[in-house]
Amino acid sequence: MKHTLQYTLLMAALNLTVMVPITYAQNVSVQQFWQLQQQQPHVIIDVRTPNEFSQGHLTSAINIPYQNIVTIVTAYKDKDQPILLYCKSGQRAEIAATTLQELGYTAVYNGRNYQELNAAQPYPIP
C-alpha cells in the first residue's frame, strides 16, 4: 500500500511537470542585444520605474514599468516584431517577457542589465 501511494504521488508530480509548461524569454548577451537592435522595426522597453528611467536609460528606449507591460498591445500589434527588454538586473524584464509571451508575442528578448547595456551602447557616427 505504501509503495502504491508513493508511486501514485510520483506519477502525479511528473504529470504536473509535463502539463504546466514554463516559458522564459530568450536571455541575450550585450552584443546580441545590440545586434537585435539593428533589426527594423524593433522596440526597446525599459521596464524599470519611471524614477529609475528618468535617472538614465538607453537611447530610443521607452518606459513601460513591468507591471504595466500589458498596455503594449494597443501600440504594438505586430506580435512578431522584436521586443528588447531590460531593467536593473533582468528579473523584472523576465516577468514582463513572460507576460508578453502569454499575450502571443514571439520575439521577446531580455537584455537584462541596464548598466552593461549602456556601457556597450553603440553611438551613431556623426
Phi, psi for residue 78 in degrees, rounded to 5: -75, 105
Residues in the chain: 126
Cα–Cα distance between 69 and 88 in angstroms, integer? Answer: 16
Tell me 112's DSSP state.
E
Q: What angle do CA 110, 100, 17 make, to 5 degrees?
A: 90
Residue (of 78, 84, 76) closest to 34 by Cα position: 84
87 included as an active-site residue: yes
From 61, 69, 83, 87, active-site residue: 87
Residues designated catalytic = 87
